A and B are shown apart, each in its own frame.
Chain A
Amino acid sequence: MRRLRILEHAISSLWRRRFKNFSIIVVFTLVISALASILVLTHSLRVEARYLLQDAPDVVVQRLSGGRHDLIPVSIGDSIADLPGVKRVSPRYWGYYYDGLTGGNYTLLGVDGTGPKSLALLEGALPDMPGTCAIGSGVADLRQMAIGDELILVDSGNVGVAFEIVGVFRSESAILTNDLVVFGNQDVVDFFRLPDGRATDISVEVYNPNEIETIAAKIKRAHPETRPITKGEITRTYDAVFSWRSGLMLTMFFSASIAFCILAWDKATGISAEEKKEIGVLKAIGWDTSDVLELKFWEGIVISVTSFLLGLILAFVHVFIFGASFLAPVIKGWSVLFPDFRITPHLDLYQIFVMACLTVIPYVASTVIPSWKTAITDPEEVMRT
């Protein structure tokens, strides 16, 4: 009950300076909300990438020429297939296409005709005949096209080529397929006018996942001009992209930290004359220093906990219900084709706990410490100054 009375007094004290304290709550909430939005968004994308790319090729073999990615002779794939432990080798044919009509960049991808033609996330089917294609939902929206329409693209010889759309990837798969235009392998070779016997890169499937690194090393030894990229490297790339060291995280962290430091600095560098007088009066009527500190502790808790909870709720609603609509333009950059974020809510309770500690504790400390300095001074002196 005593604690409740001190809390009552703390809230009354905050209420007397309500405009200032409401402003602090609003700013603090926005800072926490921005920080939490980025943390939960990047964490969710990182976990999503880790799950999705588990089925990426075990090894992708690129050929480097002058330090840059170059077309790879398909014959290299034959020698890789002879390595013990290699299950399957297949050349991949793909490339980029700038669509002058819309300003969008598409990824043109070839598939072989051996696998299944229908997929759960594909409306229609994968191309099984020359002159047909399947497109991502982003391309379909941008070009306002559907199954049965003709997609006209200009090939490497500057000749317009029409492809019949036989499939459109569902929007649920946009994070993987938004900008894709999928053709048969031969159509990609013809479209880009690739030289005979050359592919964009080679994918390698390995029997034993524990041997992936060994086989990648053997490929590099046998073909020094190549660069084998293992599945582990692919997934670790996304861990790095969405880690706290990435540019987005660092920028927002710095901005939020600076905003928070200014707020805490303002509190820590001193309390107002009115607050000092209030502490002096409390001491004069018989409050102990510990009572005054408890009062200030509760003042700090009321503001920081309210701001933290509000900020976290706003961040959750922003990221998982509104698809990070405020952050999307920052992440989007100059991309014309950008998937609608449909973020799977992977929450990390440890991350939320750390965020609570990093916001609530410093704020409470910056409220209590300057008050402690005043509370240990003689009340008469405090009231006179």
Chain B
Amino acid sequence: MMLTKSRLFLVITAAQILVLIGLVIRFQVVLEVRMAEELPQKRELVRRLELTDLAIWTEARYTRHPSQADFFSAFQDGPSSLEHFPAGSVVGVPESLLPTPAAAD
């Protein structure tokens, strides 16, 4: 019996696993380079400019600086209005609104 199809499947699966391992090794190299070279430079920037947030969402105040937003974001532009910025549906609940361990007890 030739068992060609099963061998072909095993070869394809092995090839997929090898590609995955190759990608993971490549990412590990990139990670080590960036952690050693770029991270200290970025942290120097954060320290010098006293930055508090990542510059990802610039559409509204409370999405640009989620950590500095008011307690009742994202409805701060109208307490009874629905959230109207798309990033508001991407950003999670502010830390200040999450129950603390003490409150949860």
Contacts and interface: CB of A to CB of B under 8 A. Distances in A.
Interface of A: 4-5, 7-8, 11-12, 15, 45, 49, 51-57, 60, 62, 67-69, 90, 92, 96, 104-107, 109, 111, 115-116, 119-122, 126, 136, 138, 169, 172-180, 182, 201, 203, 229, 233-234, 236-243, 245-248, 251, 302, 305-306, 309-310, 312-313, 316-317, 320, 330-339, 344-347
B95 interface: yes
A239 B71 CA distance: 17
Given A313-B19, A331-B90, A345 B31 contact: yes
Nearest to A95: B61
Contact of A338 (B56, B90, B93, B98): B56
B59 A309 contact: no
Interface in B32-55: 34-35, 38-39, 41-55
17 contacts: A8-B1, A52-B46, A53-B46, A55-B46, A56-B51, A62-B68, A67-B71, A109-B49, A229-B68, A233-B96, A234-B53, A237-B66, A240-B93, A241-B91, A302-B9, A316-B27, A344-B38
A334 B86 contact: yes
B89 interface: yes
A56 to B, nearest CB: 5
Interface of B: 1, 3-6, 8-9, 12-13, 16-17, 19-20, 23-24, 27-28, 30-31, 34-35, 38-39, 41-59, 61, 63-64, 66-68, 70-72, 76, 85-96, 98
A36 B85 CA distance: 26
A309 B16 contact: yes
B72 A115 contact: no
Nearest to A346: B31
B76 to A, nearest CB: 7
B23 to A, nearest CB: 5
Contacts of A339: 55-56
Nearest to B15: A309
B68 A15 contact: no
Given A52-B54, A57-B52, A320-B27, A306 B12 contact: yes
Contacts of B66: 237-238, 241
Contacts of A119: 41, 44-45, 48
A120 B44 contact: yes
Contacts of A233: 67, 95-96
A246 B57 CA distance: 15
B50 A92 contact: yes
Contacts of B49: 109, 111, 177, 180, 182
Contacts of B91: 241, 246-247
Given A111-B49, A313-B20, A347-B27, 15 more contacts: A8-B1, A51-B39, A56-B51, A120-B41, A176-B42, A179-B55, A234-B53, A240-B93, A241-B92, A243-B92, A309-B13, A334-B59, A334-B86, A338-B57, A344-B30
A67 B70 CA distance: 7
Contacts of A203: 50
Contacts of A106: 58
Nearest to A107: B64
A240 B92 contact: yes
Nearest to A104: B58
B93 A245 contact: yes
A96 B43 CA distance: 23
Given A177-B45, A245-B93, A107 B55 contact: yes
Interface-centre pick from B12, B45, B93, B98 (highest chain A CB count, 10 A): B45
Contacts of A92: 50
Contacts of A53: 46, 51-53
Contacts of A201: 68
A178 to B, nearest CB: 4
Contact of A316 (B5, B23, B63, B71): B23
B66 to A, nearest CB: 5
A4 B92 contact: no
A221 B98 CA distance: 22
